Amino acid sequence: MPTIKDVARLTGLSRTTISRVLNDHPYVSDEKREAVLQAVKELGYTLNSSARSLRNNQTKTIAILISRITNPFFSQLSGGDELAAGFVIEAKTYNWKIPDNLAVVGFDDHPVATIIDPQLTTIRQPIGFIGDRAMNTMIAMLKGEVEVKRTMEHLQMELVQRSST
């Protein structure tokens, strides 16, 4: 993988000049700009975003972590769909009949809910809405448009009735 040093060596210009061209700095002559762009093309040079992030101490990447939500509202065993599916599988090893001996409700409407037998009754949460809200709030916080504070919002959930209840 070619580096900025390789581009500088090929053009006979300094790494600073190469960097200015690559960052579209206005104070570089057309002749030097052309030489750098030709060398970049010839070498197949691409900007290393990891190196740039380290140098600038800024990634321009946003990560959003949303914790898994558990469901405290049912007296039957409930949890994420993966947990509920695991419970159904384990219950079958003890010859328990779902839903005759035990009703199982999951949470998240994960694809596993439809491939297990019996299919899981689950609670579907509005993950598209949650993702949009989280991203828009994060961007607004980064721009200083809203105060950074913890908030709670009630979401519309949907019961997806299947054969495990």
Query: CATH top-level class for 4-56?
Result: mainly alpha
Confidence of residue 149 (pLDDT cuts 50, 70, 90): confident
Q: What is the pLDDT of residues 22-46, one digit of tens each?
A: 888 888 999 999 999 999 999 999 8
Per DSSP, the residues of 34-64 read: HHHHHHHHHHT----HHHHHHHHT-------
CA distance 71 to 41: 56
Which distant-in-sequence residues (6+ apart) come within 8 Å of 6 by Cβ? 43, 45
Q: Do 5 and 15 touch, CB atoms closer than 8 A?
A: yes
Task: Quote the pLDDT of residue 66.
Answer: 47
Which distant-in-sequence residues (6+ apart) come within 8 Å of 25 by Cβ? 19
Where along the chain do its domains lie?
A: 4-56, 77-160
Q: Do 11 and 31 touch, CB atoms closer than 8 A?
A: no
